[in-house]
Amino acid sequence: MAVTVTTKTREVSRVTAKGIGLEGLGKRPNGNGSKGPRPPGGGGGDQQQRREEVAPFQYRIGMWVGLAAILMMFAALTSAYVFRSGSIGWQPFSIPLLMWVSTAFILASSGTFELARRGLKRADEGGYRRWLIASLALGLGFLASQLLAWRQLVGQGVYLATNPHSSFFYVLTGLHGLHLAGGIAGLAYLISRAGSGGGGGAGKSAEEGSVVRGAKVEAVGIYWHFIDGLWVYLFALLFFWR
């Protein structure tokens, strides 16, 4: 009799636990929604999310470290330029007017890049890509005008080894042009990853996470604006300190 009562009590307890949802308490669902141990290799999404959270910081810090090295190099060249300008053999010459044209090109390119960044924030792939192409075209226009300015100087008989002033002019503008070419390569990369912006096309940009993609755009933007500002500084130095 006692055994029968105990058995019935256990059955009632099981039914009650099942009814209030306590059965299976303490068991963790696996990745497929069933109960059991979590399968190995889970949490890949968490790792991807962590990578996307760290990416902006990594790109930003890496870019600023590189720009610091560029800044120190041009600071050293500026000091040498100012010191050498007061020595014997320094012969000033007229700065080609095309330098003003190239300055206008590079300033406009900063504006078009910001318009491209705004287009990306609005998820306007077409506008984003068009303004990037405009920035690239203006950068190429800057390099072309610089080469034409050099050609004008050669026509005036001003060469790299003519005097210390001409040497510094060619070195400073040439090094800046090389660094600008790096920025043009960055713009070309962003354009190649941008979608066409038409018909709901995802393009290659869909392969990248939005956070990582935004970090790359920010890094290229920091570099581009830095090189633009560096040119304004060099232009003022070469034009007014002769």
The CATH code of the domain that includes 135 is 1.20.120.80
In a domain, 9, yes or no: no
How far apart are alpha carbons 175 and 93 in whole angstroms?
A: 20
Domain limits for position 155 = 52-78+95-240
1 pLDDT above the threshold of 90 = no
Does residue 86 belong to any structural domain of this protein? no
The domain tally of the chain equals 1
Mean pLDDT calculated for residue range 155-176:
93
pLDDT average, residue stretch 202-208: 46
Six-digit token pair at 182? 């790096």
Residue closest to 188 by CA, chosen among 145, 126, 129: 129
- Segment 158-166 mean pLDDT: 91
132 is a domain residue = yes
Closest to 124 (Cα-Cα) out of 207, 200, 51: 200
Q: For residue 146, is it within any domain?
A: yes
Q: How far apart are the first and last CA of the chain?
A: 115
Taking only the tens place, the pLDDT of each residue in 26-63 is 444 444 444 444 444 444 555 555 555 555 667 778 88
Residue 145 located in a structural domain: yes
Q: Is residue 8 part of a domain?
A: no
Is 198 inside any structural domain?
yes
Q: Which residues contact 70 (CB under 8 A, 6 or more apart)?
A: 179, 226, 230
The backbone torsions φ and ψ at residue 29, rounded to the nearest 5 degrees and listed phi first, read: -70, 145
Is the pLDDT at 95 greater than 60? The verdict is yes
Q: Is the pLDDT of residue 161 over 70?
A: yes
Q: Is residue 83 part of a domain?
A: no
Task: Kindly tell me the sign of the dihedral angle through the C-alpha atoms of 189, 192, 193, 194.
Answer: positive
